[in-house]
Structure 1
Amino acid sequence: MPETQSVYSSDLAGVVVGETAISDVQGEAGVLSYRDIDINDLVDVPFLHVAWLVLFGEWPTESEKRALKSFICQHAALTDNEKLLLGQVNRELHPMLMLQGLVPLLEMPTEDTLGRGVDAEQGLFIAAKISSLIAGHHRLGQNKSILDPIPGKLRHENFLTMFHGRAPTREQVRMLDAAQILQMEHSFNAGTFAGRVCASTLAPIQSSISASIGTLFGKLHGGADQAALEMAIAIGSPEKADEYVRNSLANKVKIMGMGHREYRAVDPRAKILKPMAVELCRDDESKNLLATLVAVEEACQREFGAKGKEIWANVEFYKGAVFHSLGIPTHYFTAMFAQARVYGYIAHFLEFRPQNKLIRPRALYTGTPPEAGKTAA
């Protein structure tokens, strides 16, 4: 039987590799929706309600809201064994490597208390633990004790309290809710696709999520948020942005956080995050960093515009300024991304597993045969 003609794309650009009803990225129009609801209509909805929508394709009932809030708070508290495990991790280890390593070591629940299946139960269990692992790793790195979540508190109110050791303001919680909703899900991004590949082997959900977290760590993916703000810190002031951009382009150095693989218009998430950053960045240091980022974006637009091209900042570009204003160190930015995107990873696992098929692409072999007649000595 003759082989069918294969489509070759080294980066899978333009290649359709599956179906999803979870989110829709309309790159040309600059539109993002979760379950057919525009992201602009979701940023003021309670975070866990959006998570439920992303996971199950419907809004939670009143009883489901209560059950989910109770479940997340209950399992967010690290057990003595989990604290001991976290305590063995090198304090200097990047939080993303910590998460990638510890997620598969968590002892998964085996009962279905939420009525959505064991996979969903285990996925939400991991989501609950991730926030406490991040906060605990930060606390241990400061030679401080790990704090437990406070029953009845909102998801991100608890996280910021566990992370900093003090209660956040209502405005800070609202901003973090919105920022995390914006990065909860984004179709077949690299991290999500890596998780689907892992899931296709019938590996358990913790392996799939760990694979996604490892992929998210890269600077060309989730790590761009850390890189973008560190770039602004290195530039120092908005007056130096023009020179930095010109030198970077002349030397073919990628300007982190500028442009997006999918969007040919403004990233809809950046549209929301930029004014949030302006609202939150009030102290002199934060204002200077934000002004530097704005100057870099404007310089990029001038340089690309002179060549007849357009470019805009993506979600990672201004997200770092928001996190910085919340007192999150730069090397924790991508872990904050994982804390939100894990709900998308779970949703894709749940969507993919019932119709599971091993993902196994072909490779174009480019090896060179040995010279004719040459034999080993």
Structure 2
Amino acid sequence: MVSIPSKAPRQSLTVIDNRTGQAYEVPITHNSVLATDIKKIKAPAGQDRAEDETEQGLRVYDPAYMNTAVITSRITYINGLDGILRYRGYPIQQLVKKSNFLETAYLLLYGELPTKSQYDNWNNEIMHHTFIHSDIENMFKTFRYDSHPMAMLSSAFATMGAFAPEANPSLAGQKLYTNAAKGDMEALKVLDKQILRIIGKAPTLAAASYRMRQGRPFNRPAQGLSYTGNFLYLLDYLSGHEYQPHPVLEKALDTLFILHADHEVNCSTATVLQVGSSLVDPYSVVAAGCSALYGPSHGGASESAIRMLMEIGSPENVPAFMEKVEKRERVLVGFGHRVYKNVDPRSTAIRELAEEVFEVTGRNKLLDTAMTLADYARKSEFMKSRNLYPNVDFFSGLIYQAMGIPLDVFPVLFAVPRCVGWLAHWRQMMLNPAGVKIWRPRQLYLGEGERDYVETADRKENPKASVFDAPVQVSHGGDSKRMELATYKDERGQTWGKSKL
């Protein structure tokens, strides 16, 4: 790229297409250019393939959205170079010290910190919507005893949509939610009621997935406890009266919920917006978000980080493990971030929180290994050159483990607060006055050009084919072996036996 100085700076980009000699002036707004403006740069078909569609305009190729803004938003701001995270303009550090999760949830969804009366009403409404239908409890009981809690939670959110037909645009009308942007108060009521339902019921569903995994009966939501206090009750209560969670653990969980509530257009939020752009109901949207969050590169990272620390075992094993990392023989989990090229501001808050929790629960046995690993990363040129600093997953897993949370429940604890961020972005999309366009990314097609169908008898195996170009041989269970040895007739009366299978 050549830099050409201009005597008269203006908010635009001048592009010269060397294929045609044509110059284009592309407006710059908020330090961005419209991809559709780039599409105006066209050239006649030349040496390109027909599939490159040259005459239809230039396309922007951006694998994994490395530098593509897909929405305008007023919710969360991240500056990865300086390690800044703000919810609606408020620094995350201030919210962690002064706010609570439900207040922060209101802020993310509605743009301002609530007044006392607004907060009291908000809190009452959320806690009023904590119960789930008994048939959803029965749905949980259909899972295998060893099902992953996140798989159960994803299914539970999708199931909830079946219990609210009035909230389904496929049944109640395509513009059920988008009409709210035009001032339709009934549509806005339906929209906000689903938000109350999802935030209120998320801890109940999450706790049910945990209790199912433990083989314990489900608890009913408790009255008079805080949002996170009620969640701990749903997780842990067995018998007795006047249950009260430990205040340090209750506060710690509330703080972790604030830190995990939103993080701009991450993988799961992008999934929520992609799915939401089809105008499907919000329960399906949140279920899709859970499925994205489930992955080990996203919400499952804290679980993976603890498993890595357990494998390392002790501080003296850190150098040998890091040698393998630097040789790219092992993957380092809990360090680095797609956005942050500096210290993750959430990890700083969590480190302080960890000490408070350890005073109550006892020091996590993995902490010394974790701190040795973090110190190694701080001094290592390999790590510094790649901007690999501890992220939120590295320390949150230590706290969850110290609190006695099983590893496979970690992503569930991530999903409960992240519902707020997902819903805030979904609500913002539904209330866009310009309407909602379905997301439909483009691709660069690199496959075969047009070719004619080949009859079966004339086909030959591709001599350049690799292991990826056909199904691999899969193993079958013992019942398949027995069926292979048996003889039977199919529905057409044809006899089958070992020689024909």
- TM-score under structure 2 normalisation? 0.71
Q: Distance in 1 between matches of 2:338 and 2:383?
A: 21
For 1:320 and 1:248, the matched residues in 2 are separated by 21
Write the letter of the residue equivalent to 1:268.
Answer: P
- Higher relative helix content: 1
Q: Residues 77 and 264 of structure 2 are in contact (CA less than 8 Å); yes or no, is this contact kept in structure 1?
A: yes
Matched, 1:140 2:239: no
Structure 2 vs 1, CA of residues 275 and 321 (structure 1 numbering), >3 Å: closer, same or farther? Answer: same
Deviations, residues 11-41 of structure 1 (Å, cap 9, x unaligned): 1101111111000011111000000111011
CA distance in 2, matches of 1:192, 1:185: 9
Shift of 1:69: 1.9
Does the aligned pair in 2 maintain the 1:235–1:241 contact within 8 Å?
A: yes
**Would the aligned equivalents of 1:267 and 1:313 in 2 still touch at CA under 8 Å?**
yes
Task: Please state whether the residue corresponding to 2:365 is helix, strand or coil.
Answer: helix
Q: Which residue of 2 aligns with 1:196?
A: 273
Match of 1:369 in 2: 449
Conserved 8 A contact 1:67-1:114: no
Tell me which amino acid in the other structure corresponds to 1:108.
A
* Shift, 1:116, TM fit: 5.6
**Which letter does structure 1 place at the counterpart of 2:347?**
A
CA distance 1:28–1:120, shift in 2 (3 Å): same
Give secondary structure in 1 for the equivalent of 2:78.
Answer: strand
Gaps of 5+ in 2: 1-41, 43-54, 168-179, 238-242, 459-501
Do the aligned partners of 2:268 and 2:290 also contact (CA within 8 Å) in 1?
A: yes
Give SS of 2:364's match.
helix
Amino acid at match of 1:84: N
Show the counterpart of 2:99.
45
Indicate the residue corresponding to 2:74 in structure 1: 21
- 1:42 and 1:109, CA in 2 relative to 1: closer, same or farther beyond 3 A? farther
The 3 A distance-change label for structure 1 pair 161 and 306 is closer
Matched with 1:122 is: 194
The equivalent residue for 1:108 is: 164
Number of aligned residue pairs: give it: 376
Shift, 1:9, TM fit: 1.2
Contact 1:175 1:276 in 2 (8 A): yes
8 Å CA contact 2:248–2:360 kept in 1: the answer is: no
User: Deviation per CA, 1:310-351, whole angstroms, max 9, x where unpaired?
Assistant: 320111110111111222111101110000110000000000
Comparing 275-284 with 94-103, which one deviates more in the overlay?
275-284
Query: Which residue, 137, 140, 156 being the options, matches 1:86?
Result: 140
Larger CA deviation: 21-30 vs 76-85: 76-85
Counterpart AA for 2:63? S
State the one-letter code of the partner of 1:103: F
Paired letter, 1:94: H
1:284: Cα distance to partner?
9.0
Give the deviation of 1:152 after TM superposition: 1.6
Which residue of the partner structure matches residue 72 of structure 1? Answer: 126
Note if contact 1:270-1:314 (Cα within 8 Å) is conserved in structure 2.
yes
Percentage of identical aligned residues: 28
Indicate the larger mover: 111-120 or 263-272. 111-120
Residue in structure 2 matched with residue 151 of structure 1 by the alignment: 223
In the TM superposition, residue 206 of structure 1 has moved relative to its aligned partner by 1.0
Amino acid of the residue matched to residue 350 of structure 1?
Answer: R
What is the rounded CA distance, in whole Å, between the counterparts of 2:149 and 2:373 in structure 1? 28
Shift of 1:169: 1.0
Q: Which residue of 1 aligns with 2:404?
A: 327
Contact 1:181–1:340 (8 Å) recurs in 2: yes
Using the TM superposition, give the Cα deviation of residue 115 of structure 1 relative to its aligned residue in structure 2, in angstroms.
10
Q: For 2:77, what is the secondary structure of its paired residue? A: strand
Deviation at 1:251, TM superposition (A): 3.3
Q: 1:3 aligns with which of 56, 59, 62?
A: 56
Tell me what 1:255 maps to: 332
- Kept in 1, the 8 Å contact 2:361–2:403? The answer is no
Classify the secondary structure of the residue corresponding to 2:215: coil
Secondary structure at 1:187 match in 2: coil
Structure 2 counterpart of 1:79, which letter? H
Distance in 2, matches of 1:55 and 1:109, equals 24
Q: CA deviation at 1:72?
A: 2.2
Q: CA shift at 1:286, angstroms?
A: 4.2
Which residue does the alignment assign to 1:172? 249
SS at match of 1:288: coil
2:314 partner amino acid: S
**Bigger mean CA deviation after superposition, 248-257 or 315-324:** 248-257
Whether 1:33 and 2:110 are equivalent positions in the alignment is: no
- Indicate conservation of the 8 Å contact 1:108/1:125, yes or no: no
Q: Determine the C-alpha separation between the residues in 2 that align with 1:236 and 1:161.
A: 33
Q: 1:171 to 1:282 in 2, by over 3 A?
A: closer
**Aligned to 1:117, what secondary structure does the other structure show?**
helix
Q: Which amino acid aligns with 1:119?
A: L
In the alignment, is the contact (CA less than 8 A) between 2:154 and 2:290 conserved in 1?
A: yes
Distance of 1:62 and 1:114 partners within structure 2: 26
- Mapped contact 1:277–1:290 kept (Cα < 8 A): no
Give deviations 1:137-184, integer Å, cap 9, x for gaps: 222332322111211210001111111115321111111111110110
The 3-state SS of whatever aligns with 1:88 is coil
Partner of 1:349: 426
Taking the aligned partners of 1:235 and 1:114, their CA distance within structure 2 comes to 56
Match of 2:306 among 222, 225, 229: 229
3-state SS of paired residue (1:231): helix
Residue 264 of structure 1 is matched in structure 2 by 341
Letter in 2 for 1:342: C
* 1:274 counterpart = 2:327: no
Could you say which residue in structure 2 is the equivalent of 1:287? 364
RMSD over aligned CA atoms reads 2.4
Are the aligned partners of 1:191 and 1:213 in contact in 2 as well (CA < 8 Å)?
Answer: yes
SS in 2 for 1:349: helix
Task: State the one-letter code of the partner of 2:428.
Answer: E
Partner in structure 1 of residue 151 of structure 2: 97
Q: Tell whether the 8 Å contact from 1:281 to 1:290 is kept in structure 2 after alignment.
A: no
SS in 2 for 1:337: helix
1:109–1:121 CA contact under 8 A, matched in 2: no
Pairwise CA distance, 1:207: 1.2
Q: Using a 3 Å threshold, how does the CA distance of structure 1 residues 50 and 77 change in structure 2: closer, same or farther? A: same
| CA contact 1:281–1:321 (8 Å) conserved in 2 | no
348, 355, 360: which one aligns with 2:440: 360
Whichever of the two has the greater Rg, that structure is 2
Structure 1 portions without partners, runs of 5+: none
